[in-house]
Amino acid sequence: MTDSHSTSNPKQKQVVARERFQHRALGSTHDQLKKARVLLVGAGGIGCELLKNLVKSGFKEIVIIDLDTIDLSNLNRQFLFRHEHIKKPKALVAKEVARKFDPRATIVAHHANIKDEQFNVEWFAAFTIVFNALDNLDARRHVNRMCLAADVPLIESGTTGYNGNVQVIKRGKTACYDCKEKQVPKSFAICTIRSTPSQPIHTIVWAKSYLLPELFGVSEAAAMNLDTSESANNAEEIEKLEKETAQLRELREAMGSDDFVRKVFDQAYKKDVERLLSMEDYWKNKKAPIPLDYETIASGSENIDPLVAKLDQDVWTLQQTFTVFKDSLLRLSKRLAEERAAALRENQLEPVIEFDKDDEDTLDFVTAAANLRSAAFNIDPKSKFDTKQMAGNIIPAIATTNAMVASLCILQAYKVIKGDLGRTKELFLSKANMTGDSSDLPNPNCMVCSRVMMRTKIDLEKATVGDLVDILKLELDYTGDITITTESSQMTVFDYLDDDDDDEDSLAKRRDTKLVEVGVGNGTSLIVLDGGDDEPRVDLQLFVEDMNAEREQALVVKFVFNDGEKPEIPRKPAKKPTEMNGTTTLDGEAQSAATGSKRKRGQDDEVEESAPAKKLQTSANGATQEDDIIVIDDEGAIVLD
């Protein structure tokens, strides 16, 4: 008989030895983490590191989810992936590779979006702890809300270049992801992009967010993140821009014809520039742009091989740029025509081509189109490589930063697993140092976590608006002066002010309307606002689940109380001005450096890296005698917190 201690399998031996050390270091926390059920959202830069750390630190039950497939550009830092994995789902490959670190760990992988309906509050509630390893605000906010609703602790993390941060989020105990205002990505004034570019980034944004969508995607209004606040002063200019946009859109009709390239070129680099030249006042103190002439440029580019586009580190000559412009325009036109034909056959929506930094056709087009505009406006051209960084809003990801952040996540997780939330920290990593602050308390004015959240089972076949209002009154003691809206689309489900309606018939009709008819479905989140007296209650958020099999004859709406107890819905705090700190939303959101220095709060907040090393003391049963988390390796022990 083989027991785990006498195994001859070298891998197994390694795991057993590792676990013995872990037990000595962590004591009962080790037992707890072996029983924990962990969700890891994202299998990218931080996610791969975290999964490896989770398995190697003894977590036995892990669910990992990622919607993406592996790309060549991931391989330099996502070390669970190899060349042969390209195009395979990240979550599935990560699972297969990480299992080898501990064959006894159970890893379940989902190649899916965490926002999918199936991952509802009930599903989240089954986890002991959740880790976010995401790259976008939207998904982070979603997981934040789901964890608050399910009352599951969340370890949030992010990196940008050398900067990184880790935040522990637990409902009612610490600040949530939305407690602090997030900086929005930098936007550009519409007139700078469309009329008066002066830097390479302006022509790159023009090519990526204006010309490309106008020709191949959804129109400007939807695609561009432009600041139109100057519009009031520039009504005439805006009108001209709109006219030009309409002309460009007409060009789409010419797609596929022999003179398509010439038409686009003339519109974008001749007529448009001539229009801008007519703003004489503007060019009085600046070098005026020069319209480009198709014949002149084309005649010098006949012998250039379109493969010049592969030279991504070089700044192309004007003729090379023209060649890539023409070639990529034709490639994109052909692609769109094929996609349209396929969509028509399969009765699908009209396809569009959107910019993707990893899509060579769109990147070639944006690089060339931007550089032609730069040529007209006396702006320095950029290489394809530089354009990729700028258009993709890329700050290079650094494997070491990801690795450090992932290990800090684990150290915070130990405290959470121990139930030691008071000692969790928000950590900030930068090139110079690492700083740590005790986790912030929840912001009482936070729009997200100040809400009371509740799962709500609804018989969607039967339940009406009136049923929902009645149960809110009956079970949660609302007066009825409430407004209910859907969170995502902000559609009104019920408004007590309409209840004052004199028309009895219309009132009755509204209350008898089925909830499904007013946009409520499985997974909908509803916000209940108390419009009552002077001291309204905080907002209530209901996460709707279809009652399905549990349908009971009489009950069509049923609240699921956490801990089985009816929650108290407190009154809103009296309004007073709040001070919002800047924030460190990292990763794809390209935020400012994560110094965290402004957040220091006294003695407790010592920098983690400066914590004095203490001697490892173990008791008879092998557990440490202190509260500190101690990491040991063959060299000895280090006290980390």
Token pair recorded at residue 267: 């519109």
Check binding of 69 to ligand ATP (CB under 6 A).
Answer: no
CB of 403 to ligand ATP, least distance (A): 12
Q: Is 48 designated active site?
A: no
CB closer to ligand ATP, 67 vs 193? 67
CA angle 456, 457, 461 (to 5 degrees): 130
Residues in the chain: 641
* 47 annotated among ligand-binding-site residues: yes
Q: Which residues contact 401 (CB under 8 A, 6 or more apart)?
A: 159, 161, 162, 163, 164, 429
With contact defined as beta carbons under 8 Å apart, do 382 and 371 qualify?
yes
- The beta-carbon contacts of 355-361 under 8 Å, at least 24 apart in sequence, are 355/208, 355/209, 355/212, 355/391, 357/388, 357/391, 357/392, 357/394, 358/71, 358/73, 360/309, 361/328, 361/331, 361/332, 361/335
* 77 annotated among ligand-binding-site residues: yes
The C-alpha R_g of the chain, in whole angstroms, comes to 29
Backbone angles phi, psi at 239, to 5 degrees: -60, -40
Q: Among Zn ion, ligand ATP, none, what binds residue 42 when CB lies within 5 to 8 Å by partner kind?
A: ligand ATP
CB of 439 to Zn ion, least distance (A): 12
CB closer to Zn ion, 167 vs 401? 167
* 361 annotated among ligand-binding-site residues: no
Q: Which x/- pattern, by CB under 5 A, does the window 160-199 give for Zn ion?
A: ----------------x-xx--------------------
- Which residue blocks in 309-383 are alpha helix, DSSP H? 318-345, 360-376
CB of 88 to ligand ATP, least distance (A): 13
CB of 405 to ligand ATP, least distance (A): 11
Nearest to 153 by CA among 144, 142, 165: 144
CA angle 404, 625, 419 (to 5 degrees): 60
Q: Write out the DSSP string of 258-274.
A: TTHHHHHHIIIIIIHHH
Check binding of 526 to ligand ATP (CB under 6 A).
Answer: no
Nearest to 121 by CA among 157, 167, 152: 152
Check binding of 526 to Zn ion (CB under 5 A).
Answer: no
Binding part of the chain for ligand ATP, among 37-45, 507-515, 539-547, 626-634 by CB under 6 A, reads 37-45
Check binding of 115 to ligand ATP (CB under 6 A).
Answer: yes
Q: Among Zn ion, ligand ATP, none, what binds residue 134 when CB lies within 5 to 8 Å by partner kind?
A: ligand ATP
With contact defined as beta carbons under 8 Å apart, do 200 and 377 qualify?
no
* 90 annotated among ligand-binding-site residues: yes
Check binding of 67 to ligand ATP (CB under 6 A).
Answer: yes
Binding part of the chain for ligand ATP, among 62-70, 101-109, 201-209, 405-413 by CB under 6 A, reads 62-70
Of 73, 299, 378, 548, the one binding ligand ATP by CB under 6 A = 73
Q: How far apart are CA 154 and CA 460, in angstroms?
A: 31
Check binding of 348 to ligand ATP (CB under 6 A).
Answer: no
CB closer to Zn ion, 191 vs 446? 446
Check binding of 109 to ligand ATP (CB under 6 A).
Answer: no
The residue at minimum Cβ distance from ligand ATP is 44
371: number of Cβ within 10 Å = 29
Binding part of the chain for ligand ATP, among 110-118, 284-292, 459-467, 511-519 by CB under 6 A, reads 110-118
Q: Among Zn ion, ligand ATP, none, what binds residue 449 when CB lies within 5 to 8 Å by partner kind?
A: Zn ion
CB of 132 to ligand ATP, least distance (A): 9
Check binding of 45 to ligand ATP (CB under 6 A).
Answer: yes
Of 446, 453, 471, 482, the one binding Zn ion by CB under 5 A = 446
Of 66, 244, 272, 589, the one binding ligand ATP by CB under 6 A = 66
Check binding of 562 to ligand ATP (CB under 6 A).
Answer: no
CB closer to ligand ATP, 113 vs 219? 113
Q: How far apart are CA 517 and CA 539, in angstroms?
A: 23
Check binding of 74 to ligand ATP (CB under 6 A).
Answer: yes
With contact defined as beta carbons under 8 Å apart, do 217 and 352 qualify?
yes
CA angle 452, 436, 590 (to 5 degrees): 75
Check binding of 605 to ligand ATP (CB under 6 A).
Answer: no
Q: How far apart are CA 149 and CA 165, in angstroms?
A: 23
With contact defined as beta carbons under 8 Å apart, do 265 and 294 qualify?
yes
275: number of Cβ within 10 Å = 15
Check binding of 68 to ligand ATP (CB under 6 A).
Answer: yes
Q: Which residues contact 100 (CB under 8 A, 6 or more apart)?
A: 11
Question: Which residues contribute to the annotated binding site for Zn(2+)?
Answer: 176, 179, 446, 449
Footprint of ligand ATP on this chain (CB under 6 A)? Answer: 42-45, 47, 65-68, 73-74, 90, 113-115, 134-136, 139, 397, 587
* Binding residue positions: 42-47, 66, 74-77, 90, 135-140, 176, 179, 446, 449
Binding residues for ATP: 42-47, 66, 74-77, 90, 135-140
Q: What are the catalytic residues?
A: 191
